[in-house]
Structure formats: C-alpha cells, structure tokens
Structure 1
C-alpha cells in the first residue's frame, strides 16, 4: 500500500492491499480513456473516444461506487472519526454521477473533453482519500472485517470480466485511427499515452496493468517513464506471457518511451 496501515487482522491487511491495487488499475484505465478523449477532441475520432469512456464508466466506475455505498461506507460511518469523511465521499459520488451525466449529454467534443478531465481529476482525489484515510480507518477497527465485507464483491476488487467489451473495442479504434492492427504502422501521435512519471511508485505497476488490461488485441499504448522499466517488463511477461509486444521509441537518458501492443 502507499501508506503505512495498521490492520486488526492479517486478512484485513490483505483486503486493503487488494482494494488499493484495484483502485490503481481503475485509475490507469481511466487515464488512458480520458487521454483518448482529450487527444481526439478536434478529430473525427472524438465520438468514438467519448463512447469508449462512457462504456467503461457505466460498466466499471458506477458499479464500483454503488458497491462502496452498500458495504464500506455504512461501516465507516459508524466510526466517529470517519463520519464526516464518509459524508464527503458520498458528496463526491454525487459529483461523479453528475459529471458522467454531463459527459453523456455533451454535444461538443471540446466540452466533453473538459468533463472527462474534470472526472479524472475528481476520481484521483477521491481514490486518494479512500486509500489513505477511509480504508486504513476501517481495517484498524476490530469491530469490522473488511475482508468479510469484500467477499464476492467483484466491483470493489476487480477480477471480473462480464461486460461485452464494446468500450474496449471503441478504445482500440480510438488508439489506432479507426483500424485494428499490430503492424506498428501507426505513429506515436495515434497511440494513447500513459505518463507514469506522475504516478506514485507504490501503485505505478498496478496502474499500468489496469491500462494494459483494457486493451483489445491489436491495440497499444505509449508508456512514458523516467527510467528503463525493465522490472515492469519482467513482471508483465510473468503476468501475461507473450501477450504484449514491446518496442522502444526513446531510450533515455532522461525519458524512456515504449510502445506496448497487445498481440
């Protein structure tokens, strides 16, 4: 985890780590999709990118928020020092839903890009509060078992894949100018870019995996780092052997740019 957390049980400590890892994966996917919306706002791919983001929001983010309101938030609200925090988190859920609705109604691509960026910023701040304040408070309390609360809650822990990937397919098209290929014929400007230099080190790999997991075969992204990410590539190969092709576009000394494409 990115903060030092004292849990009442080992099971709760593991549950907290899984929640934070899933949060990082969601942040990575949202960053990739939002980047597509911003990058294509003045192109003929703007609507495809907007629909890809909306599909993910409906399938992943909105159910995640609903699951929190059914499980984690009611328990945390019973802890005196977390009560005001929960109220603030619920207000942020209202704002998130409002921004999703604004994005759905947006007719102008530039306006849609503004809503998408605002949503990404709000969600990042929201996750930080959950990771650094809400979850540690819950797992430290002997009155509640976070591990038990999360049993079977795929929306909070990830690991499910029960939607039709329509949004993923749209993201593939947005990232490759409307065609799907693994030939490397597209240029860097057409690839979604994930700059990991601004992501906290503790959740960096999980964030990257979240972005990569959303790619369809033939799709790719441009990874930007401040070092040669050899440990990441080794972990990726162990996690999904042979699933991604890697091509270096820039190799230091200050910036590394790698194209990662799903086979």
Structure 2
C-alpha cells in the first residue's frame, strides 16, 4: 500500500487518543496529582504531535487530495476538524490551568469530561474518514514517486512546527 506510512502514523497516535477517553472515564476516581500528570501529558501530546500532524496535513496532504479529486474544497470539512481539535486543545489547557488554581469542581469535571470525550470522538472519526475515504482514493490515483514525495513533504511540514 502506497500510503501505509500515514496509516502507521495514525496507529502510532491512536494509543494517545485512547488516553483521552481513559482520562475522561476515570475523572471521578483519580487523584488530583494523577489527573494533573495525565492532563499535562495529553497537552504535550496535542501540542507536540497531533496538532503538528494536522497542520502538515492541511499544508501538504489535503491540497493533493483536492487536486486528485478535482475539487478545490474537497477536504474543507477535514480542515475544519483540525480547527476544532485546536479549539478543544486550547480549552483543555484553560481547564487544566483553572484546575491547578481552584481544584476540581463538579462544573469543571463535567467540562473536562466534555472536552476529553469531544477530542477523542472527533479525532477517531477524522482518522477513519482519512483512512476509509481519502487514502484509498490516493492509492488508486498517485504514482509511487508522487507518494514518496508526499511523505517527504509531510515529514518536513510536521517538523517545521
């Protein structure tokens, strides 16, 4: 499969995505210290891995998909998913800061749960759309040399972050 490296990258990111759900599931039973550690690790993952991945897709992958599909806005909804991931990641950071200052109120617990489950669901569906719809299309229409160039450009864009 020409685009297996992208599938592999998603597979590498998925355990961290699962952690979003796990942290939300255990909010009622975790210590403040464990929650602080988990939220810090999630924020680092979002900032250092998931968001750079999304930005690289917006700059490199989606223009190729748009070209192959012959539609300039074919991936606009996918880019919108990325905007929402960034917004939710920011909200997670804001909630984490408030948690550090003021503790975990019922309202804050509910907001954290909403943001964590929201990120989890959004990213899982986003990856599924890419892998089930866009990647098979690219594999049918890209030459091996084009796929190789795509991965070089994606890697460069991701590390420019």
CA distance in 2, matches of 1:85, 1:125: 17
What are the superposed Cα offsets for residues 140-164 of structure 1, whole Å, 9 maximum, x if unpaired? 214781221102644899xx9xxxx
Q: Paired residue for 2:46, among 47, 54, 57? A: 57
Q: How does 1:1-263 map to 2 (within 5 A)?
A: 13-14=1-2, 16-41=3-28, 43-44=31-32, 45-80=34-69, 83-106=72-95, 107=98, 108-142=108-142, 145-151=146-152, 153-154=154-155
Asked if the contact 2:59–2:157 (Cα under 8 Å) also holds between the matched residues in 1, the reply is: no
CA distance in 2, matches of 1:41, 1:103: 17
- How far 1:41 moved relative to its partner? 4.9
Instruction: Specify which structure has the bigger relative contact order, considering alpha-carbon pairs within 8 angstroms and separated by 6 or more residues.
Output: 2
Asked if the contact 1:41–1:110 (Cα under 8 Å) also holds between the matched residues in 2, the reply is: no
Find runs of 4+ consecutive structure 1 residues off by over 6 angstroms.
none
Task: Give the TM-score of the pair, scaled to structure 1.
Answer: 0.49
Task: Give the TM-score of the pair, scaled to structure 2.
Answer: 0.76
- How far 1:139 moved relative to its partner? 2.3
What are the superposed Cα offsets for residues 156-196 of structure 1, whole Å, 9 maximum, x if unpaired? 99xx9xxxxxxxxxxxxxxxxxxxxxxxxxxxxxxxxxxxx
**Once superposed, what is the RMSD of the aligned Cα atoms?**
2.6
CA distance in 2, matches of 1:89, 1:35: 25
SS in structure 2 of the partner of residue 71 of structure 1: helix
CA distance in 2, matches of 1:22, 1:140: 20
- How far 1:82 moved relative to its partner? 6.0
Asked if the contact 1:37–1:116 (Cα under 8 Å) also holds between the matched residues in 2, the reply is: yes
CA distance in 2, matches of 1:129, 1:82: 17
Could you tell me which residue of structure 1 aligns to residue 103 of structure 2?
Answer: none
- How far 1:34 moved relative to its partner? 3.8
Structure 1: tracts of 5 or more residues without a match: 1-12, 161-263
SS in structure 1 of the partner of residue 75 of structure 2: helix
Structure 2: tracts of 5 or more residues without a match: 99-107
- How far 1:73 moved relative to its partner? 0.5
SS in structure 1 of the partner of residue 152 of structure 2: coil
Q: As a proportion of its length, which structure holds more helix?
A: 2
- How far 1:33 moved relative to its partner? 4.6
SS in structure 2 of the partner of residue 92 of structure 1: helix
